[in-house]
Amino acid sequence: MAEFSHILGWKELLVMDRLFRNFRRFGYPAILALVVFSSAELRAQEWARKMFDHFSHDFGVLVRGQKAEHRFRFRNLYVEDVEIESITSTCGCTIPEVTKRLLKTHETAEVIARANTLQFLGHKEATIRVRFRKPFPAEVQLHCYMYIRSDVVFEPGAINFGTVTAGTEAPAVTIIASHLTRGDWRILKVQAPEYLEVSFAELSRQPGRVSYQLEAKLLPTAPVGYIRDTILLVTNDLDSRLRNLYVQVEGVVVPPLSVRPSPLMIGLVSPGQKVLRKLVLQAQVPFRIISVEVPSEAYVVRFGDEPSQVQLLSLEYTVPEQPGKIKDTLRIHTDLATDGSVEVVVIGQIVEPQKE
């Protein structure tokens, strides 16, 4: 039954149990009625499942103390607001968190599943239950699998570069990988993304313990945005299933000029409505906003003229009369010598006001 539960969720298993019980008591008419009811109940969950692009993740082989996380992305496809009521896990080996509980139309969020490698060992499975309150009650189940080793340790549990400005080389970050039971254990090679320069060297070798130091450098070619990647360590483990180990790499590469929020979500708006929003621009050195290109006269922008590392831009948008989707691009120009311009996409939906 444990293997079968990977294919059918707990609700489907409950339905099957009810089918067998009702068959013994009332025969085929009761089964037919229950099948109709249960099918409708399961279909009612589909609106929530459609927002997710996948429902399971295998962390593979992890080591004690290793930092590992996976993100299940979902997007509000509907006109109504989507609100999460609760998020739980069936196993403490996986700690769930959601980045946003209330989503407007077209907004996205992530369910973050973090592996708890300090308190758990061996083969572990967890089901994350995401329960929605709006627009209708529903539940989506996400599944995580992992095998946590006790004989290998990473110190610290991940490589973290912090925040780095694009085009610059960040200081090198090191991590110690140790095997606690084999004196002949070796790291044979490493594989890393092309924007990382990685080297490794043996630190010590004693009876029953071997330690290696890995050094990673973030190259200036690293792409802008969040870094969530891995470095592969290929070892000489006798068991081929345990031979490959992965070190999580994380950090944030920020452009010389950034703007937030981006994209700018204005949600559902009515014809003729005036929408007020603010944008925050930030750079490493003081700068001024020179001009803003807007797609139409519906946009009015205001900004100061004093140099600063942080600039505030006020936006007033008069919603057009024609219902439909909004997807406009604003281009902001500054006096920065390099990469002095940035674009912001405005997204929303114009809907007719409801008639009373």
Whether the pLDDT of residue 306 is over 90: the answer is yes
What integer is the mean pLDDT of 54-59? Answer: 96
Question: How much is the pLDDT for 18?
Answer: 54
Q: What does the pLDDT read at residue 22?
A: 53
Contact call for residues 173 and 158 (beta carbons, < 8 A)? no
Q: Is 151 left (phi over 0), alpha (psi -120 to 50) or beta?
A: alpha
More confident residue, 176 or 165: 176
Q: For residue 304, is pLDDT > 80?
A: yes
Q: Among 157, 181, 212, which residue terminates a domain?
A: 157
Q: Are residues 169 and 248 in the same domain?
A: yes
Q: How many domains does the chain have?
A: 4
Q: Inform me whether the pLDDT recorded for 353 exceeds 90.
A: no
Residues 247 and 271 in one domain: no
Helices 10-26, 28-43: axis angle to 10 degrees equals 160
Burial of 141 (0-12, 13-18, 19+ CB in 10 A): middle
pLDDT at 20: 53
Determine the Cα–Cα distance for residues 352 and 354; give it in Å rounded to an integer. Answer: 6
In this structure, the answer to whether residues 128 and 77 fall within a common structural domain is yes
Note whether residue 194 is domain-resident: yes
- Domain range enclosing 334: 257-350
pLDDT at 255: 87
SS3 of 182-198: CCCCCEEEEECCCCEEE
CB 344 within 8 A of CB 263: yes
Q: Give the mean pLDDT of the chain.
A: 87
Beta carbons of 108 and 99 less than 8 angstroms apart:
no
Share of the chain above pLDDT 90, in %: 68
Regarding whether 315 and 281 lie in a shared domain, the answer is yes
Per-residue pLDDT reduced to its tens digit, 249-286:
999 998 889 898 989 998 889 999 999 999 999 988 89
pLDDT higher for 108 or 23?
108
Specify the 3-state DSSP secondary structure of 325: strand
Q: Does residue 48 fall inside a structural domain?
A: no
Q: What is the pLDDT of residue 309?
A: 93
Closest CA to 291 of 275, 313, 276: 313
Q: What is the pLDDT of residue 27?
A: 58
Does residue 288 have a pLDDT over 90? Answer: yes
Which of the four pLDDT bands, split at 50, 70 and 90, describes residue 52? very high
Cα-trace Rg, the chain: 26
Q: What is the mean pLDDT of residues 88-96?
A: 97
Q: What's the CA gap between 229 and 226, in Å, rounded? A: 9
Q: Please, which contacts does 33-41 make with residues 24 or more away whose CB atoms are closer than 8 Å?
A: 41/11
pLDDT at residue 208 tops 90:
no
pLDDT band at 50 (very low <50, low <70, confident <90, very high): very high
Give the mean pLDDT of 42-69: 89
Q: What value does the mean pLDDT take over residues 73-78?
A: 94
DSSP secondary structure, 151-220, as one string: EEEEESSSEEEEEEETTSPPPPEEEEEEESS-TT--EEEEE--TTEEEEEEEEEEETTEEEEEEEEEE-T
Q: What mean pLDDT comes out for the span 213-235?
A: 93
pLDDT at 7 (0 to 100) = 34
CATH number at residue 164: 2.60.40.10
Measured CA distances, 79 to 230, 285, 345 (Å): 37, 41, 20
142, two tokens: 């996400």
262 and 195 within one domain = no
Q: Final residue of a domain: which of 100, 130, 157?
A: 157
Residue 41 to residue 85: CA distance in whole angstroms = 19
Is the pLDDT higher at 231 or at 340?
231
Q: How far apart are CA 223 and CA 144, in angstroms?
A: 28
Please, which pLDDT band fits residue 307 given cuts at 50, 70 and 90? very high
- DSSP letter at 56? E
Q: Are 185 and 210 in contact (CB under 8 A)?
A: yes
Per-residue pLDDT at 235 exceeds 80: yes
Is a pLDDT exceeding 90 seen at residue 339? no
Beta bridge partners of 304: none
Question: Residues 217, 284: one domain?
Answer: no
Residue type, 230: T
The dihedral over CA atoms of 228, 234, 237, 238, expressed in degrees to the nearest 10, equals 120
Q: Indicate whether 39 and 23 sit together in one domain.
A: yes
pLDDT at 84: 96
More confident residue, 314 or 12: 314
Whether the predicted pLDDT of 31 surpasses 50: no
What pLDDT score does 106 carry? 86
Lookup: tokens for 286:
């003081």
DSSP secondary structure letters along 228-253: EEEEEEEE--SSGGGSEEEEEEEEEE
